[in-house]
Amino acid sequence: MKKLVVVLVAGLLVAGLAAPNPALAWWGFWPGFGVGALTGLVLGGALVAPFYYYPYASYYYAAPQPFCYAQPGYWSQAAMHQDNGFTTHQNVWAPPQQVCP
Protein backbone atom coordinates (compact mmCIF):
# COMPACT_ATOMS: atom_id res chain seq x y z
CA MET A 1 0.00 0.00 0.00
CA LYS A 2 2.82 2.35 0.86
CA LYS A 3 4.50 1.76 -2.50
CA LEU A 4 1.28 2.46 -4.35
CA VAL A 5 0.88 5.80 -2.59
CA VAL A 6 4.47 6.78 -3.33
CA VAL A 7 4.10 5.85 -7.00
CA LEU A 8 0.87 7.85 -7.29
CA VAL A 9 2.45 10.89 -5.64
CA ALA A 10 5.45 10.59 -7.94
CA GLY A 11 3.14 10.41 -10.95
CA LEU A 12 1.28 13.54 -9.85
CA LEU A 13 4.58 15.30 -9.25
CA VAL A 14 5.81 14.44 -12.72
CA ALA A 15 2.51 15.49 -14.31
CA GLY A 16 2.60 18.80 -12.48
CA LEU A 17 6.20 19.55 -13.37
CA ALA A 18 5.84 18.42 -16.98
CA ALA A 19 3.12 20.97 -17.73
CA PRO A 20 4.49 23.76 -19.91
CA ASN A 21 5.38 26.85 -17.97
CA PRO A 22 6.46 29.88 -20.03
CA ALA A 23 8.18 31.45 -17.03
CA LEU A 24 10.72 28.62 -16.95
CA ALA A 25 11.32 28.52 -20.71
CA TRP A 26 14.54 30.53 -20.46
CA TRP A 27 16.13 27.79 -18.32
CA GLY A 28 16.37 25.49 -21.32
CA PHE A 29 17.83 22.11 -20.40
CA TRP A 30 17.51 22.16 -16.60
CA PRO A 31 13.75 21.70 -16.03
CA GLY A 32 13.71 18.46 -18.03
CA PHE A 33 16.85 17.22 -16.29
CA GLY A 34 15.46 18.08 -12.86
CA VAL A 35 12.13 16.37 -13.56
CA GLY A 36 13.89 13.25 -14.82
CA ALA A 37 16.28 13.08 -11.88
CA LEU A 38 13.54 13.70 -9.34
CA THR A 39 11.27 11.11 -10.96
CA GLY A 40 14.08 8.58 -11.00
CA LEU A 41 14.87 9.17 -7.34
CA VAL A 42 11.26 8.97 -6.20
CA LEU A 43 10.31 5.95 -8.28
CA GLY A 44 13.60 4.21 -7.62
CA GLY A 45 13.19 4.71 -3.89
CA ALA A 46 9.62 3.45 -4.02
CA LEU A 47 10.28 0.35 -6.08
CA VAL A 48 13.53 -0.82 -4.56
CA ALA A 49 13.32 -3.98 -2.46
CA PRO A 50 13.07 -3.31 1.26
CA PHE A 51 16.03 -4.09 3.48
CA TYR A 52 15.18 -5.81 6.72
CA TYR A 53 17.36 -5.47 9.80
CA TYR A 54 17.71 -8.53 11.94
CA PRO A 55 16.59 -8.12 15.54
CA TYR A 56 19.24 -7.87 18.21
CA ALA A 57 20.13 -11.34 19.37
CA SER A 58 21.46 -11.53 22.89
CA TYR A 59 22.32 -15.20 22.52
CA TYR A 60 25.40 -14.26 20.46
CA TYR A 61 27.09 -13.25 23.69
CA ALA A 62 25.81 -16.06 25.90
CA ALA A 63 27.91 -19.08 26.84
CA PRO A 64 27.41 -22.03 24.51
CA GLN A 65 25.09 -24.77 25.66
CA PRO A 66 26.67 -28.12 26.49
CA PHE A 67 26.21 -30.75 23.86
CA CYS A 68 26.71 -34.48 23.79
CA TYR A 69 27.53 -36.75 20.91
CA ALA A 70 27.78 -40.50 20.42
CA GLN A 71 31.23 -41.85 19.64
CA PRO A 72 31.04 -45.10 17.70
CA GLY A 73 32.86 -48.20 18.80
CA TYR A 74 36.21 -48.99 17.23
CA TRP A 75 38.98 -51.55 17.20
CA SER A 76 42.30 -50.62 18.76
CA GLN A 77 45.59 -52.36 19.26
CA ALA A 78 46.77 -52.54 22.85
CA ALA A 79 50.41 -53.30 23.64
CA MET A 80 50.94 -56.38 25.79
CA HIS A 81 54.29 -56.75 27.54
CA GLN A 82 55.36 -60.30 28.24
CA ASP A 83 57.62 -61.56 31.02
CA ASN A 84 60.44 -62.42 28.64
CA GLY A 85 60.68 -58.80 27.37
CA PHE A 86 58.75 -59.19 24.16
CA THR A 87 55.93 -56.82 23.30
CA THR A 88 52.98 -57.97 21.26
CA HIS A 89 49.78 -56.24 20.24
CA GLN A 90 46.26 -57.50 20.69
CA ASN A 91 43.11 -56.20 18.99
CA VAL A 92 40.73 -54.77 21.56
CA TRP A 93 37.17 -53.56 20.93
CA ALA A 94 36.36 -50.19 22.47
CA PRO A 95 32.57 -50.03 22.90
CA PRO A 96 30.50 -47.04 21.76
CA GLN A 97 30.07 -44.30 24.33
CA GLN A 98 28.38 -40.95 24.79
CA VAL A 99 30.75 -38.00 25.17
CA CYS A 100 29.67 -34.78 26.92
CA PRO A 101 32.59 -32.30 26.98
Distance separating alpha carbons of residues 95 and 64, to the nearest angstrom:
29
Amino acid 93: pLDDT:
96
Q: Is 28 left (phi over 0), alpha (psi -120 to 50) or beta?
A: left
Neighbouring-strand partners of residue 74? 94
22 pLDDT exceeds 90? no
Confidence category of residue 28, pLDDT binned at 50, 70, 90: low
Predicted confidence band at 57 (pLDDT cuts at 50, 70, 90)? low
Any idea where the domains of the chain sit in the sequence? 2-47, 69-99
pLDDT of residue 42: 77
For 29-42, the pLDDT digits (tens) are 666 777 777 788 77
CA 36 remoteness from chain centre: 34
Residue in 98, 101, 92 with CA at minimum distance from that of residue 70: 98
